[in-house]
C-alpha cells in the first residue's frame, strides 16, 4: 500500500477560495513547557463545528491575521470532537504572537491538509510510539484515537523522551497513559533531576532497552530530526523493516495544498503527499533532502 496515496481522502473546506482561513476561537490554553503551549479552539461557524472532520496525522494552517500563517499538526484526536487542539512551540514571530493570545481571541484555520496515519494498515497490529519533545503532538492524536478504539489494536508501547523533566509535553496525557493498564508507557529524559523517577537516557537507547518485538508491529516515530535519525537504525536493529516504520516530516510551508512549491522532496510535496511517510517511502524519494 502506498501510504501517500491521498486520492480518496476527504477534502473539507475545499470549495471556493481555499486560501481563506475559517474563524476559530481559542477556548483554553495550556502551558506545556516554558516555550510550548497547547491551544484548544473551535470554529465560530456552528455548521462547520458539527461537520468538520479530520484524521490523526493531518495538519492545519493557523493564522493570526496581520502577522501570518504557519502549519501545525492537529494534536487532538478525531475521536474527541468537542474541540480541536494544536500545540505550538515559540520559535518565531507568528508563534510568539500566538503565545500572547488569550482565551476568546480569534485565530484563522485552514485544513485539514495532508495525508494521515493509515488506520487501516495499523488496525490489528502492535503499535510502538517513539516520540521526542514536541514531536509527541502528532503521535498524541493517534494514541488517543487508538486508545478510544482499544480493542482494534494489539500491544501499545509508548517511549517518550525530552531533554529534562521540565521539557516533557502533555504531562497530563503521560500520566493517563502511565495509569492505563493496556499501555506500556516509558518516559525518559536526557538529564534528570532529584524528583525524576523515570528513565534517564536518549530515546533511541531506551528504545533498544525496552526492545519491543517487531512481530506484527508498526513503529510510529516523531521528534527532532536528530532523534529520528538515530531511531530508525535502532528499530532496524530490533528487526523492524522500513515498511514497519512511520514518521511525519516537517518542511517550511505556505499554501499547505501543493501549490507554492517549497515543501518538496523531489516530486513529493510534504503538504500534499505527506506529512506521514514510511521509512520505506523516504528511502525511495528521488531526493535525499528530507
Partner 1 sequence: MTARKIAKKHIADLLNEWRQGFNVFVPSRDEGVAKWARWDGGDAEFLEWYRNTVVPPKALFFPPLEEMFSFHKDGDGYRVEQPPPAEERWLIFGIRPCDARALAVLDLNFKEGYEDLYYLKRRENGVLVGLGCTRPYESCFCTSLGIGPTDAADVDLMLTDIGAYFLVEAVTDRGEELLGKTSLVHAATGADEARAEEARKAAGARVTRKIDSQGISEKLRASFEDKGFWERVSAKCISCGICTFLCPTCYCFDISDELVKRHGARFRSWDSCAFSLYTKMPMENPRREKWRRLRQKVCHKYEFYPDSFDVIACTGCGRCIRLCPVNWDITWVLSSLPVQKQVGLET
Binding site residues, partner 1, CB under 8 A: 11, 14, 16-21, 23, 25, 44, 65-69, 91-92, 104-106, 108, 224-225, 250-252, 254-255, 257-262, 264-267, 272, 286-290
Q: Measured from the CB atom, is 233 or 266 closer to partner 1?
A: 266
Contact (CB, 8 A) for 271 and 71: yes
Q: Measured from the CB atom, is 131 or 212 closer to partner 1?
A: 131
Helix or strand (DSSP H, E) at 147: helix 136-147
What is the nearest approach in angstroms of partner 1 to the Cβ of residue 42? 13
What is the nearest approach in angstroms of partner 1 to the Cβ of residue 274? 14
What is the nearest approach in angstroms of partner 1 to the Cβ of residue 222? 14
What is the nearest approach in angstroms of partner 1 to the Cβ of residue 268? 9
Q: Measured from the CB atom, is 156 or 265 closer to partner 1?
A: 265
What is the rounded CA–CA span in Å between residue 73 and residue 180? 25
Q: Measured from the CB atom, is 105 or 205 closer to partner 1?
A: 105
Q: How far is CA 87 from the centre of its chain?
A: 9
What is the nearest approach in angstroms of partner 1 to the Cβ of residue 24? 10
What is the nearest approach in angstroms of partner 1 to the Cβ of residue 188? 21
Helix (H, G, I), strand (E, B) or coil at 154: coil
Q: Closest Cα partner for 140 from 61, 184, 99, 85?
A: 85
What is the rounded CA–CA span in Å between residue 60 and residue 69? 10
Contact (CB, 8 A) for 235 and 280: no
How far separated are the first and last CA of the chain, in Å rounded? 21
What is the rounded CA–CA span in Å between residue 99 and residue 51? 28
Instruction: Please give the grid coordinates belonging to residue 229.
Output: 535519525
Q: How far is CA 32 from CA 171, 196, 210, in A?
A: 8, 17, 26
In the DSSP assignment, the letter for residue 153 is: S
Q: Closest Cα partner for 98 from 80, 133, 125, 71?
A: 71
What is the nearest approach in angstroms of partner 1 to the Cβ of residue 17? 6
Amino acid at each position: 500500500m502506498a501510504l501517500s496515496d491521498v486520492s480518496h481522502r476527504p477534502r473539507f473546506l475545499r470549495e471556493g477560495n481555499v486560501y481563506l482561513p475559517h474563524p476559530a476561537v481559542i477556548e483554553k490554553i495550556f502551558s506545556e513547557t516554558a516555550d510550548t503551549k497547547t491551544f484548544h479552539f473551535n470554529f465560530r461557524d456552528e455548521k462547520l463545528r458539527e461537520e468538520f472532520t479530520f484524521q490523526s496525522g493531518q495538519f492545519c494552517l493557523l493564522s493570526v491575521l496581520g502577522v501570518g500563517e504557519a502549519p501545525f499538526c492537529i494534536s487532538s484526536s478525531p475521536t474527541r470532537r468537542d474541540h480541536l487542539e494544536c500545540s505550538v512551540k515559540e520559535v518565531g514571530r507568528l508563534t510568539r504572537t500566538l503565545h500572547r493570545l488569550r482565551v476568546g481571541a480569534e485565530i484563522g484555520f485552514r485544513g485539514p491538509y495532508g495525508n494521515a496515519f493509515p488506520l487501516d494498515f495499523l488496525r490489528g497490529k502492535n503499535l510502538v510510539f517513539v516520540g521526542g519533545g514536541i514531536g509527541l503532538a502528532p503521535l498524541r492524536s493517534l494514541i488517543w484515537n487508538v486508545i478510544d478504539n482499544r480493542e482494534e489494536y494489539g500491544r501499545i508501547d509508548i517511549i517518550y523522551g525530552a531533554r529534562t523533566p521540565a521539557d516533557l509535553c502533555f504531562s497530563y496525557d503521560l500520566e493517563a497513559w502511565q495509569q492505563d493498564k493496556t499501555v506500556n508507557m516509558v518516559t525518559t529524559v536526557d538529564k534528570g533531576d532529584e524528583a525524576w523517577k523515570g528513565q534517564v537516557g536518549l530515546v533511541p537507547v531506551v528504545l533498544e532497552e525496552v526492545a519491543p518485538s517487531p512481530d506484527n508491529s508498526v513503529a510510529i516515530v516523531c521528534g527532532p530530526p536528530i532523534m529520528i535519525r538515530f531511531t530508525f537504525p535502532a528499530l532496524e536493529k530490533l528487526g523492524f523493516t522500513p515498511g514497519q516504520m512511520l514518521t511525519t516530516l516537517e518542511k517550511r510551508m505556505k499554501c499547505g495544498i501543493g501549490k507554492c512549491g517549497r515543501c518538496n522532496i523531489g516530486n513529493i510535496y510534504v503538504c500534499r503527499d505527506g506529512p506521514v511517510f514510511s521509512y520505506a517511502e523516504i528511502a525511495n524519494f528521488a531526493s535525499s533532502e528530507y
